[in-house]
Amino acid sequence: MVQTQNRIRISCGALIFIFLLGSFLSQAATLRDLYEAAVDAYNKGQYDKAIGIYQGIIKESPQFAPAYIGLGLALKDKGGDLEEVVYYYKTAVEKDPTNSQALEQLGRLYYSIGQLNKAQAIFEKVLRINPTITDVKLSLAWINLIGKRINPERAIFYFKEALKSSPTPNAYFGLGMAYFADNQRVKALDIITQLKSMGQEDLAGKLEKAMRENRRIILDEFNTVSQDEGNNKNNGSSIPVANPNNNFASTGNGPKGYKVRLSGKLDDL
């Protein structure tokens, strides 16, 4: 009789567990579907729709940090108030202090509006959490090269780190300028040769001209690197710097999306 009662208790406990597990999985699936719908709307440039879905997710699951990041992104791309965007990024960090994506977006926002000191501090924190993000390394390299507190040695370090996983011409150009700023002219000349071997005659020419005329580079208001001497800009001599948002996956001809970098978070649901 006792054994029968124990079996009944175990069976009831198992049923309760199965019910609760099924309920949890159902909620997770719903949240996953909502999140994917928000990402899809954002990728298609349907920002109002994405914002509405993200707000719904936050209402149902206020601890889900990626929803705050997505909401901030959608508001920013819609042209919303930057203070509100910063609020959502910071809220995402509060909900998940180790969320490198939330910190990265906050850093990129500061980077895009020229608050390079704030961006640098945040990017350095991002790399302590996730040392593999190449675009953050590139951003730190440019900040150390063209910011108010120029540090060519740190710029060289970050350019080299970025080149390990992304050997792009722009990164090689930056490394050459960093060598030049650090008075390592022989290494800068080697970069010129390397750029030419890559078919990047334009970048090689800009670096060569900068060295020949003893010019440095600055970050102008259009987020481009320009050759400069003192405070006199050399018009018509600029190249794009590392795009603060170039880490997102392109979705056809539409806006750049956020799905790829955050989809892994859904595995925890």
d(CA 86, CA 96): 15
**Which helix or strand (DSSP H or E) is residue 240 part of?**
strand 232-240
Q: What is the pLDDT of residue 217?
A: 52
| Cα 253 to Cα 36, 47, 159, 249, distances in angstroms | 19, 16, 30, 11
Eight-state DSSP code of residue 250: B
Residue 119: pLDDT over 60 = yes
CATH of domain 1-97: 1.25.40.10
Domain(s) labelled CATH 1.25.40.10 in the chain stretch across 1-97
- Compare 34 and 190 and report the one with higher pLDDT: 190
| Mean pLDDT estimate for the chain | 76
Can you list the alpha helix ranges (DSSP code H) found in the chain?
Answer: 2-43, 47-60, 65-78, 82-95, 100-112, 116-129, 134-146, 152-165, 169-181, 185-197, 201-212, 259-262
For 45-99, the pLDDT digits (tens) are 999 999 999 999 999 899 999 999 999 999 999 998 899 999 999 999 999 999 9
Residue 188: pLDDT over 60 = yes
Best-predicted range by mean pLDDT (20-24, 99-103, 264-268): 99-103
Work out the pLDDT band at 216, boundaries 50, 70, 90. low
Residue 190: pLDDT over 90 = yes
Query: 131-243 belongs to which CATH class?
Result: mainly alpha
